[in-house]
Structure 1
Amino acid sequence: MKVHRWLLLTSLAASLLPALAIPSFRTKAKRNSSPFVQSDGTSFIVNGSKFRYVGTNAYWLPVLNTDEDIWNTLGNISAIGAKVIRTWAFNDVNAIPENGTWFQLVQNGTVSINEGPNGLQRLDTVIQMAQQRGLYVILSLTNNWFPQASTSGTGTSLRTRNGSPSVTLPRNYLSNDYGSDQFQYLRCSLIVVTGGMDMYVRQFGQNYHDQFYTDQNILNAFKNFTTQVVSRYVNNPAVFSWEIANDARCASTLPASSSCTTETVTQWHATIAEHILSIDPNHLVSSGTQGFMCTDCPKLYPLTPPPAPQPSPAPGTKKRSAPVTSRQILRKRSESRRLSREAALRRGTLPQNGVRVRGRWASTATRRQQSQGVGSSYDGSYGVDSQDIMNIPGIGFGTFQVFPDQDTYVPYDPNLSQYDNLVNQGVDWITSQAQSASAVGKPLIMTSFGLVTQANSADFVPFNMSTAIDPYGATNQQQIDAYSTWLNTSVSSNVAGMIQYQWGQMNLTAETGTTISPGLTGISPSPGTTGTTPSSTTTNTTQSSDTTGFSPNDGYSSNSNANGVQQVMSSTAQNIASD
């Protein structure tokens, strides 16, 4: 996740399903009877059956204040047909808080693990209850990001919403706050740092973000934490997989050193994957990257070309694709611009303020005028080569995220509306990721996808900032249509898992000094709504009660359009279950 995140707070499904056993999807062939999620080419297999799913992100589950809140949240997620939840398995501090959950103390180059009832036992509860609800859990072990908070003279972190008075947010309120410094518990004076790569770097006295990948002391500390967490669930089939890090890159709020390259990040993933598998051979390991590529970078794990001629694939399987190349990307973009221009001509909507070429108006620059670069998503600018990472032997499947309202995957097409550009960017990114995974021959999941709506824009705060931006965004119906398009594209492209970002939960138990604190100003249902399943038009900035609260919202919770989002997810879940 990068610079811009959009707010979509979700509400809950109306009813809870009874406790379920871990699901066993029906297929015909009993290829592998293991209860653990396995990979078979580009598919996942559980108990001999193909496992394809829709899921959601709820990174904040372990910090809820009561077991009942965890149980009810998982029930609402299960009720819409979701099968997998992605959550954070890290929660680090640089000072022990007075209240709330924390997993690890990282302070002045030393680390200490909290295995108590307000520590890793909270994660134990999430895993146990997920299993009872028939859900699998993807556990992410660290984060690339945290917000660069503005601070008052006392160090209190502030967030401003559309000119309204600044509000103090509790630690862990934002997903990217798992790594922030100078965030303060609401109504508490204790300032703590919550974990993430840059927190390790600072606490070990270093200066560059990528020293998290290369400094041996930091590497040992992260391996130690990884060992403590991974070893707890070696024999638990409710764990879907281990995610090494959310969106690892060369830089974050700390800059990258001049020596950080895609090979730096790839080698780190290989090292950590090998370490995890040495502890836990039962579960798959993934990277958690956004999917950024480097088509022309040197590879640590180059693809071996298939023998020529290739034999016909077995029935039910697909022939492996060629890797994504710069030439293919540019050719595809040129063809897309040509088709959109022809469509605009037929509609009579071709812009007349373009470039004059030989007496005719062109809606876009000519080929010679166009930059021939593939852009930052494909040129290694972020220090990530997801295809090289995916081809690491210890990496079990590929990952990517879809946030076209914060990342640019293809150049803007002036023949299309802003909304159509966003939707088409998502489609292009999904198909490119599917091609890359097919070339490697491993399953692929979309670990996050989201689009901000106008109803949520007032509370959207971009990454590493503390001030909301002016209202913008899609309508609720446009969000539903975009999600439907992206999910359908993923299904047709053989993406094995599709995880919405992110779930929102109302009516949670509030406790002073915790993530769910009483009196926190923020997005909640309009007065008179129940907080369970609000209509798609009932969202206001209001004051929560002293006894109940709502889940953290960093801009992608779906409360403002819960019915529509949940319906799209549920429909897709039903469709893939009947394939």
Structure 2
Amino acid sequence: MRSLLYSSLLALCGALWARAFAQAAATQKRSVPPGFVTTNGRNFELDGKPFAFVGANAYWLPLLNTERDVDYTMQQIQASGAKVVRTWAFNAINETELPSATETGLTYYQVWNSSDWVVNDGPQGLQRLDYVVSSAEKHGLKLIVTFGNNWAAYGGIELYINWIYGAENATHDIFFTDPAIIASYQRYIKTIVERYKESSAVFAWELVNEARCTGDILSAGPNCVPGSNTLKTWYSQQSDFVRSLDANHMITAGGEGQFFSAHPAEYWFDGSLVSDYNFNGQAGEDFAGDLELPNLDFAGYHMYPQTWYPELDFPGSNFSVEEWGLGWISDHASAAAKANKPLIIEEFGVTGLQNKTDIYPSWVQHALDTGHARVMPWQFGVLGLTEDGGNRAIKYSDQIFRGASPNDGKTHSTLTRHKYGISSQRLRVFKANALDSH
């Protein structure tokens, strides 16, 4: 049986994609080889036909250390009806971490020592990513392949700052401007792109996950402020670089979708009027402006109002997670329509089973109504993984536990259904309600 989430989302998309494609104006599209997805105005196309989809995030796929578990996960994703999977093509470690990485079977691609790194293309390195790509090909799935992480997890971009620039007096945004760091990052990008650029399983290259002026550890500097265009300049440089390596695959930024508005939204908190971080340019992004870049083929954005507004989301408050999300969807749909480029809700999630059941149909329906029939919840989960007896610590707090993939509370599909005891009858009711929402 298909999952609670994906069967419902697939039904919604299948019913409405034709309307979305009919409404959008076509522009000159790039000619690509058979099996490669491309853009045509606000829409995606595959072999000359419209390509609308429900997708899935599964960053942990290359961290699995058995081919059986990779294939099993791909089978579950395929059976759910999802067509596009977003996963990480990065994990960097310091040389001092090598012994523990070897002992635990951790997948790693870069090893840092001094001001340089070496690539690991062995069986515990890029060969695992090789198998993820080949398994996607075998199961008819497409991959959004992400080059790096704004955050510290899995060798984020601050490793480049620490090793090349030095952490003393450094700010997070140095990554986006320092020539030596940019050259090193481009060397890694080239390693990944040239390895997989002939594969039709690659849906798109993604420059970095959730770029911001600030990170987990280092703060923003004075050169990354609203209006500085620090991130836009970096997006431009890196998308042009990737296009010079690969003329056929699509490219996207990977940002959360923050705006730089002339009149940013505000809200009341603790007796004061607060300028909204998601609209005032402080994050460094300018979603609408970044879409002007010619080698960013489509736009993606993320949506986590519970996490972003904890000071507002509490019992008895007037803040509505659902209503805020509807506005966020509308804002991005308007910007993408103006740029005449496709749009994906690339990550979204709420915690709490009832929240998922109540809110997701509303969000997805509104996304479809505003003309972008592409949604990718965070994150896909499976049961039945077998490596190391179904139990293995990966890194940080991530683990395979009793055969279940990592679960951060926003995990869906078989994991949600079994862990929370959702019955087959409840699945049918949810699906019927979603279909009735047309």
- For the 8 Å contact 2:306–2:350, the answer to whether it is kept is yes
Amino acid at match of 1:557: T
1:418 CA drift (Å):
5.3
1:285 CA drift (Å):
0.5
Change (3 A) 1:523 1:209: closer
- For the 8 Å contact 1:141–1:226, the answer to whether it is kept is yes
- 2:287 is the alignment partner of 1:433: no
- For the 8 Å contact 1:64–1:516, the answer to whether it is kept is no
- 2:363 is the alignment partner of 1:486: yes
Aligned equivalents of 1:212, 1:488: Cα separation in 2 = 38
Amino acid at match of 1:425: W
Change (3 A) 1:92 1:275: same
- 2:194 is the alignment partner of 1:231: yes
The answer for the alignment partner of 1:85 in structure 2 is 85
Residues 398-417 of structure 1 mapped to structure 2, 5 A cutoff = 398-408=299-309
Aligned equivalents of 1:523, 1:222: Cα separation in 2 = 28
- 2:314 is the alignment partner of 1:390: no
The answer for the alignment partner of 1:192 in structure 2 is none
Residues 318-337 of structure 1 mapped to structure 2, 5 A cutoff = 326=263
- 2:84 is the alignment partner of 1:120: no
Cα shift readout 1:291-343 (whole Å, capped 9, x = no counterpart):
100013xxxxxxxxxxxxxxxxxxxxxxxxxxxxx38x68xx9xxxxxxxxxx
- 2:392 is the alignment partner of 1:516: yes
The answer for the alignment partner of 1:381 in structure 2 is 282
Aligned equivalents of 2:398, 2:35: Cα separation in 1 = 42
The answer for the alignment partner of 1:191 in structure 2 is none
Residues 153-232 of structure 1 mapped to structure 2, 5 A cutoff = 177-178=153-154, 195-204=155-164, 205-206=166-167, 207-232=170-195
Cα shift readout 1:145-201 (whole Å, capped 9, x = no counterpart):
13xxxxxxxxxxxxxxxxxxxxxxxxxxxxxx21xxxxxxxxxxxxxxxx1111111
Aligned equivalents of 2:149, 2:313: Cα separation in 1 = 33
Q: The residue matched to 1:210 in structure 2 has which SS?
A: helix
1:510 CA drift (Å):
3.5
Q: TM-score if structure 2 supplies the norm length?
A: 0.80
The answer for the alignment partner of 1:287 in structure 2 is 253
Aligned equivalents of 1:482, 1:135: Cα separation in 2 = 27
CA-based RMSD: 3.6
Aligned equivalents of 1:384, 1:275: Cα separation in 2 = 20
Q: The residue matched to 1:399 in structure 2 has which SS?
A: strand
1:552 CA drift (Å):
2.2
Aligned equivalents of 1:406, 1:36: Cα separation in 2 = 35
Q: The residue matched to 1:35 in structure 2 has which SS?
A: coil
The answer for the alignment partner of 1:73 in structure 2 is 73
Change (3 A) 1:376 1:13: closer
Q: The residue matched to 2:77 in structure 1 has which SS?
A: helix
- For the 8 Å contact 2:193–2:246, the answer to whether it is kept is yes
Q: The residue matched to 1:45 in structure 2 has which SS?
A: strand
The answer for the alignment partner of 1:316 in structure 2 is none
- For the 8 Å contact 2:349–2:378, the answer to whether it is kept is yes
Identical counterparts, % of pairs: 30
1:110 CA drift (Å):
0.7
Between 65-74 and 490-499, report the one with greater CA deviation. Answer: 490-499
Structure 2's unaligned 5+ residue stretches are 8-16
Higher relative contact order (CA closer than 8 Å, sequence separation 6+): 1
The structure with the largest alpha-carbon Rg is: 1
Deviating beyond 2 angstroms after TM superposition, the runs of 4 or more aligned structure 1 residues are 10-14, 25-29, 31-35, 411-414, 416-420, 509-512, 514-518, 520-524, 552-556, 558-568
- 2:424 is the alignment partner of 1:424: no
The answer for the alignment partner of 2:203 in structure 1 is 240
The answer for the alignment partner of 1:50 in structure 2 is 50
The answer for the alignment partner of 1:60 in structure 2 is 60
Change (3 A) 1:278 1:125: same
Q: TM-score if structure 1 supplies the norm length?
A: 0.62
The answer for the alignment partner of 2:13 in structure 1 is none
Structure 1's unaligned 5+ residue stretches are 1-9, 15-24, 147-176, 179-194, 297-325, 334-363, 454-475, 525-543
- For the 8 Å contact 1:11–1:505, the answer to whether it is kept is no
1:231 CA drift (Å):
0.8
Change (3 A) 1:12 1:498: closer
Q: The residue matched to 1:427 in structure 2 has which SS?
A: helix
- For the 8 Å contact 1:13–1:79, the answer to whether it is kept is no
1:375 CA drift (Å):
1.6
Amino acid at match of 2:371: N
Q: The residue matched to 2:45 in structure 1 has which SS?
A: strand
- For the 8 Å contact 2:306–2:313, the answer to whether it is kept is no
1:504 CA drift (Å):
1.6
- For the 8 Å contact 2:399–2:406, the answer to whether it is kept is no
Q: The residue matched to 2:205 in structure 1 has which SS?
A: strand
Cα shift readout 1:85-138 (whole Å, capped 9, x = no counterpart):
100011111123323311111222111111111111111111111121111110
Change (3 A) 1:477 1:227: same
The answer for the alignment partner of 2:238 in structure 1 is 272
The answer for the alignment partner of 2:220 in structure 1 is 256
- For the 8 Å contact 2:259–2:280, the answer to whether it is kept is yes
Amino acid at match of 1:87: T
Q: The residue matched to 1:500 in structure 2 has which SS?
A: coil
- 2:403 is the alignment partner of 1:443: no
- For the 8 Å contact 2:65–2:387, the answer to whether it is kept is yes
Amino acid at match of 1:482: I
